[in-house]
Structure 1
Amino acid sequence: MKFKYKAHKPGEEVFIQGEIEAGDKFHLSRQMRDQGLILIAAIPVSNKWFDFSKINELVVTVKLHDLVTFVNNLSAMLSAGLSLSRSLDVLGRQTRNIKFKRVIGELVKSIAEGKSLSVSMFGYPKIFSPVLVAMVAAGEESGNLPQSLKTVGDQMEKTYMLRRKIKGAMTYPGVILTAMLAIGFLMLTFVVPTLVSTFKEFNVQLPLSTRVIIGLSEILSNYWGVFLVSLTITAAVIYRILITIKGRRFIDFLLLHLPFVSGIVKEVNSATMARTLSSLIGTGVNMVESLDITARVLQNSYYKNVVILARDGVQKGDSLSGFFQKEENLFPILVGELTEVGEETGKLPEMLANVATFFENEVEAVTKDMSTIIEPILMIIIGLFVGFFAISIIQPIYSITEAI
């Protein structure tokens, strides 16, 4: 395989670029070391007229789990005494994500040009969050980058686990409902039409439930194209509405007022706010900047607005806890009280971390209970669906056998 490479000669401000044959990046790095050079970046050169890897990179996304692994490993390598460039080079060769591999290579290149890690990361806002960039910058300023990376790595890992638990609780019902819809569609478009001709042949008096199913079957069979186009247009219109500020705010309002869902939404947002703020303040980021970054991290517009108001208030000299205590419809009482204790004792990061841990545990317990409750409810829904369909089909068949 041919690579375009850029290498650095230790002890000299000399950069070498060119093309070279190598089995892979690992062997290329070894070849460079044998020549007394340090590999900075390497890009495979494709001789194909059409390179599918470029399309693959557009499709592939850098997931939160990839970032958690990257940050934790980088922290461990720096703590072990490896240089930043070498650590990033190792991580770039280790990752299997094509897009992330390229971005890490660009980070190595930027650092070789004299830029800091935080400045280099800032150029990729879709991959590196404002929280990560700010905490890396704080670590660079304090001279304790490995510890800052460890802190932000722990925070990201807790966020990842929280999201995973929520998704896990919703996956099972989602799969079951999708399977039900798929089976229902196949039954209505393939099975029911074959039975309709039999019912007509014997001139059977059909019950209401059977007529409803036959009506749905005829609509799907004869107008499936119109149905598909209508469904696509409806989904597109809903999507366009949801990406507007008013549409997003409406969904946020709905989530905060739906029974059962509202409690989880409040706990998740409270945990995210507290965990992010605790991590930022704990690594030395000032309060105003920490609140500004936290507001950008929060997805729910109502929580975002409260944190922005708190940022402006803190800038004027107001206490942070006062804003949380005024918004008890959004933040549970515990948030305001523990924040106030943290302000009074000078242990705000620790108190916010306690708040985050408490609500993360609450969400975990609720998602476990949710799985236990949803399963029997789904079984009842499936039973009713199957029962209605079976009775609607069996009744006319029974009438035919009686007539014979």
Structure 2
Amino acid sequence: MGFEIKKVKKAKRNDGFDIDALLKKEINLFGSPYSDKKKEAFYTELFVLLQAGLELKDAVELISKEQKKENDQKIFENVIEELISGKNFSEALHHQKVFTDYEFYSVQIGERTGTLNAVIEELSNFYKRKNDQRRTIVGALSYPIVILLTAIIAIVFMMQFVVPMFAEIFKQNKVELPWITSKIINASNFFRDYYWIFILIFSVSLISKRLVKDKIWYKKYSSSFLLKIPFVGEFIRKIKIAQFTQAISLLIGAKVPLLSGIQLTQKMITFYPLQNALKRIESDILLGKSLSESIAKHNVFDSKMSSLIKVAEETNQNEVIFQRLTEQYNKEIEYRSKMLSSVIEPVMILFLGAVVATILVAMYIPMFNLSTVIG
């Protein structure tokens, strides 16, 4: 049984929100009121209750009673009302803002194929892997970010208070300043007089990014820039490929046709190079080409992936291969996150040390001249 996802109209909510916009918002780190961590717990508990023999409505009611936040309880109360009114579970989820298109179509396919329990289990595993990836990334970048913020605060403090103090001493004693000292003092004066420009630029950048983040040209150039950053670009690419293999593994496990799986995955992934590649792969499959043959054309995928998928197609082991690919990429992401952290930390420390040392040396060179004059 196949489902032509692209023929489904992009419905809008009664309150004017677009489904695709909500999908993109959900993927963002701070974008969703019902986080991926909560979704992992929800699908895990729901799967356990369904396996224990409870009816779907009763299982959702039990989960609703466990919610501590009023907003979360309201979500499940709305789902229960939809179920009581005769709606399918997929439709009930579809009417809630916090659930994505991806979840809606996955559950819908599970209902139509009689594999709802399997889909719920795979959604639980999907969000578990996604949360594991996020924790790995946060763990890798948290210390370097703390160092970077410390460096910024230290530099701002020195430029705002320490350098002007030295500059006043040099001015009062008419000390001839070396080139590097004069440049540091000029930079300090500029920062003190025009610090608001930096704040304005930062604010405008944030607002502009929010306005254009859904534009194709922005996705194209921002992703191209990210991929060119040493270490970071390859790390991001691996994360997006892992999301792709996780999604396909889930859908194949739910007996979803390959073409429908590709179409569904496009709705989840907003990374332009991968999204664009999936659109072309979809066109190739419609023309009768194999998945391995189509993937081999795109540099965003690893060569080993096309080789393994070719073997899977020949042996009819697509589900097993994609599960192994997911495990491999998750392990590689964990390794690369540790490597990225180990590279960024010393670079940040060296940067902070170099800047602070430059400022101190620039201030102390005239001090030696000053001590000579006073002596």
- 1:127 is aligned to 2:98: yes
After the TM superposition, which residues 184-199 of structure 1 pair with which residues of structure 2 at under 5 Å, given as runs? Answer: 184-199=155-170
Shift of residue 391, structure 1, vs aligned partner: 1.0
After the TM superposition, which residues 136-155 of structure 1 pair with which residues of structure 2 at under 5 Å, given as runs? Answer: 136-155=107-126
After the TM superposition, which residues 242-261 of structure 1 pair with which residues of structure 2 at under 5 Å, given as runs? Answer: 242-261=213-232
- 1:74 is aligned to 2:46: yes
Q: Which deviates more from structure 2 when the two are superposed, residues 110-119 or residues 281-290?
A: 281-290
Tell me the C-alpha RMSD between the 2 structures: 2.2
Q: Which deviates more from structure 2 when the two are superposed, residues 95-104 or residues 173-182?
A: 95-104
User: Cα gap change, 1:226/1:103 in structure 2, threshold over 3 Å: closer, same or farther?
Assistant: same
Q: Give deviations 1:300-334, integer Å, cap 9, x for gaps.
A: 2121122122223323432111111122x211111
Separation in structure 2 between the aligned mates of residue 264 and residue 323 of structure 1, nearest angstrom? 23
Separation in structure 2 between the aligned mates of residue 233 and residue 144 of structure 1, nearest angstrom? 48
2:145 aligns to what SS in structure 1? helix
- 1:355 is aligned to 2:325: yes
- 1:103 is aligned to 2:110: no
Q: Which deviates more from structure 2 when the two are superposed, residues 307-316 or residues 67-76?
A: 307-316
**1:62 and 1:97 in contact (8 A); partners too:** no
Q: For structure 1, which runs of at least 5 residues remain unmatched after alignment?
A: 1-57
* TM-score normalized by the length of structure 2: 0.85
Q: For structure 2, which runs of at least 5 residues remain unmatched after alignment?
A: 1-29
Q: Whose Rg is larger?
A: 1
- 1:83 is aligned to 2:42: no
User: Cα gap change, 1:207/1:246 in structure 2, threshold over 3 Å: closer, same or farther?
Assistant: same
- Aligned pair count reads 345
Separation in structure 1 between the aligned mates of residue 348 and residue 120 of structure 2, nearest angstrom? 43
Shift of residue 388, structure 1, vs aligned partner: 0.9
> Which residue matches 1:277?
248
Amino acid at match of 2:329: F
- 1:63 is aligned to 2:39: no
Shift of residue 263, structure 1, vs aligned partner: 2.3
* TM-score normalized by the length of structure 1: 0.79
- 1:326 is aligned to 2:297: yes
**2:144 and 2:344 in contact (8 A); partners too:** yes
Separation in structure 1 between the aligned mates of residue 134 and residue 180 of structure 2, nearest angstrom? 42
Shift of residue 242, structure 1, vs aligned partner: 4.5
Q: Give deviations 1:86-129, integer Å, cap 9, x for gaps.
A: 322232232334433321221111111111111111123x5223
Shift of residue 60, structure 1, vs aligned partner: 7.2
Separation in structure 1 between the aligned mates of residue 77 and residue 348 of structure 2, nearest angstrom? 48
Normalized per residue, the structure richer in strand is 1
Shift of residue 240, structure 1, vs aligned partner: 4.1
> Which residue matches 2:314?
344
2:174 aligns to what SS in structure 1? coil
Shift of residue 186, structure 1, vs aligned partner: 2.2
2:296 aligns to what SS in structure 1? helix
